[in-house]
Structure 1
Amino acid sequence: MAYRILHVSDLHTGPPFRQTVADTLVAQAHTIKPDLVVVSGDFVQRADFVAQWRAACALREALPQPQLVVPGNHDVPLFHLHLRLFNPLGRYRRYVTTELNPVFELPGLVVVGANTAHGLTSDGGRLSRTQRANLRRILARYGPEVYKVVVWHHPVANLPGARKDRVMRGAASAMQVLDEHRVGLLLTGHLHAGYVGHTRTMMPHLEHGTIICQSGTTMSGRGHGHEKGQNSCNLITIDEQFIQISQLLYQAEVQQFVPVAEYRFLRI
């Protein structure tokens, strides 16, 4: 049986949020009818402003269920220092979800979320010791017959040709955890540009390796790099033999997200 995951990221419900693009994505998502919608962080542009959280809450309610979501660094207040240090994800918990380690299951598939955004994190994230322990504990429940997908916000790989290192702190140890538990696919965001790759490109000694699927910003005008000013998301199909990733880019001329690249990996 094939499952489909719609992977969106970096919604940033604050200037320069693109409402027309958001409306299109919501309509297409209901047409696609995915088995799961994944949001890999950054619901708001500035977590200090309640109006942006209300908009993010409305947007989440408009998207199809079921959903699995994780926070990003923009979901942590920037200007409210007390909140940033002592309750960094308080507003995320209030307006989005209280669950920071979400788990979604279907027969033969599990999707697990983790948090890489913390109060002292302004840009680059990290998978804390507690988060690594939680992830290990959850993944250990599932045998090799279950295809494992992990979701967090920050990237473990730079974009091809990047001049600046933007990977999360402790990326190597995080990739090692994925490999130890035979995680087949990692979904991330943060860089505002889509990318598909593999952990064995950076760490060839890994026994299994993990497919990396990064989404650009799906609804903000802050696309970077090869997606400068653009919006993207991913539609992923998982069946018994293959993992297929279709990168979708918003085209204003037709007011639709359309496929621009496809990747196919043998399921191992």
Structure 2
Amino acid sequence: MAYRILHISDLHAGPPFDQAVAAVLVRQAPAIQADLVVISGDFVQRADFVAQWRAAQALREALPGPQLVVPGNHDVPLYNLLLRFFNPLGRYRRYISNELNPVFELPGLVVVGAVTAQGLSFESGWLGRRQAATLQRILSSYGPEVYKLVVWHHPVMSPTGTRKNRIMRGNKKAIRLLDACGVDMLLCGHYHVSCVGTTLDVVRGLDRGTIICQSGTTTSQRGYGRERGKNTCNLIEIGVQTVTIKPLLFNPLVGRFEHTSAHVFPRRVAAPSPLSASVTPKLTPL
């Protein structure tokens, strides 16, 4: 049984938002026929302004479903200190999603969201103990035959060629947690530059490692490094024997997102037989 996931990130509704690119994304996304649309954070540029939240909400509603979303550091208020420290994700929960650890299931597949955006940090993030425990509890209920994806905002490694260190705090501890839970792939954003890699390049002695799939900014004008001024997202195809990540780059000459490459990985455990499986998706609130 094969599945398709459209992974977008760093929308940044606000001053750097590119409405023309967003309109293309809304038109093109249904044709991809993804089984799930993942948005890995930074819905707004400044979480202090309600108008930006309404714009982000409208964009999310215009995209096809089902969707699994998580917040980013820009989704935490910057200027309103009362909200920042006492209700950092209040507006995210009101306008985007009340679920901070969403779970999406299909036969042979589970996708779990987590929060790395913290009110005490202005840019970096980390996986708190409660989030780590929640991830471990959820993922431990699935066997090795289930392909496991985790989604959070902050990256655990720096893309090649970038100078600024923007990886999450405690990245090696988080990587070991992913490995211990048998996570096959991590989806993230934050850097505004796309990257495909593996945690085996970051931490030694892992049991199996986790594929890293990082999206650049999909709809803002704040691309970084080699993707300065560019917009990207990812199409992930999970097959019976292999998993393929296809980075998509917006081409202004033709007005659409196009494949730029393909990264193919073997599945460590073949997908189970679909003969008696239902293909009804399940998005489970916790």
Asked whether the two chains share a fold, i.e. TM above 0.5, the reply is yes
User: Per the alignment, in what secondary structure is the counterpart of residue 138 of structure 1?
Assistant: helix
How many residues in Structure 1 have an aligned counterpart in Structure 2? Answer: 268
TM normalised by structure 1 equals 0.99
Match of 1:112 in 2: 112
Using the alignment, how far apart are the partners of 1:131 and 1:16 within structure 2? Answer: 31
The residue type paired with residue 159 of structure 1 is P
Question: Equivalences for 1:63-212 in 2 at 5 Å?
Answer: 63-212=63-212
* Other-structure match for 1:238: 238
Moved more, 217-226 or 160-169: 160-169
- 2:10 alignment counterpart: 10
- Mapped to 1, the partners of 2:117 and 2:15 lie a distance apart of 21
Task: State the 4+ residue runs in structure 1 displaced beyond 3 angstroms.
Answer: none
SS state of the match for residue 260, structure 2? strand
Aligned-partner SS, 2:261: strand
Gaps of 5+ in 2: 269-286
Q: Which whole-Å CA distance do the structure 1 matches of 2:210 and 2:16 have between them?
A: 33
**Following the alignment from structure 2 to structure 1, what is the Cα–Cα distance between the partners of residues 165 and 215?**
18
Which residue of structure 2 aligns with residue 28 of structure 1?
Answer: 28
Code of the aligned partner of 1:264: V
Residue of structure 1 in register with 2:221 after alignment: 221
Q: In structure 1, what residue type is equivalent to 2:175?
A: M
CA distance in 2, matches of 1:121, 1:3: 36
Within a 5 Å distance, the mapping from 1:33-48 to structure 2 comes to: 33-48=33-48
Report the residue type matching 1:86 in the other structure. Answer: F
Report the equivalent of 2:265: 265
Aligned to 2:280: none
Q: Given residue 34 of structure 1, which amino acid in structure 2 is its aligned partner?
A: A
* TM-superposition CA deviations, 1:38-66 (whole Å, max 9, x none): 00000000000000000111111000010
Give the residue type in structure 1 aligned to 2:174: A
Shift of the alpha carbon at 1:162?
2.6
Q: Distance in 2 between matches of 1:178 and 1:192?
A: 23
Q: Is the 8 A contact 2:161 2:225 kept in 1?
A: no
Which amino acid counterpart does residue 19 of structure 2 have in structure 1?
Q
Any stretches of 5+ residues in structure 1 without a counterpart? none
In terms of mean alpha carbon deviation, does 121-130 or 155-164 score higher? 155-164
Q: Output one character per residue of 1:155-202: Cα deviation in whole Å (capped at 9) or x when no partner.
A: 000111332322100111111111011100000000000000000011
Residue 256 of structure 2 is matched in structure 1 by 256
* Structure 1 residue aligned with 2:53: 53
Normalised TM-score (structure 2): 0.93
**Alignment deviations for residues 93-121 of structure 1 (CA, whole Å, 9 cap, x no partner):** 00001100000000000000000001011
Query: One-letter code of the match for 1:50?
Result: V
Q: Give the letter for the 2:134 counterpart.
A: N
How far apart are the structure 1 equivalents of 2:162 and 2:17?
25
Any conservation in 1 of the 2:246–2:262 contact (CA below 8 Å)?
Answer: yes
Matched residue of 2:200: which SS? helix
SS at match of 2:184: strand
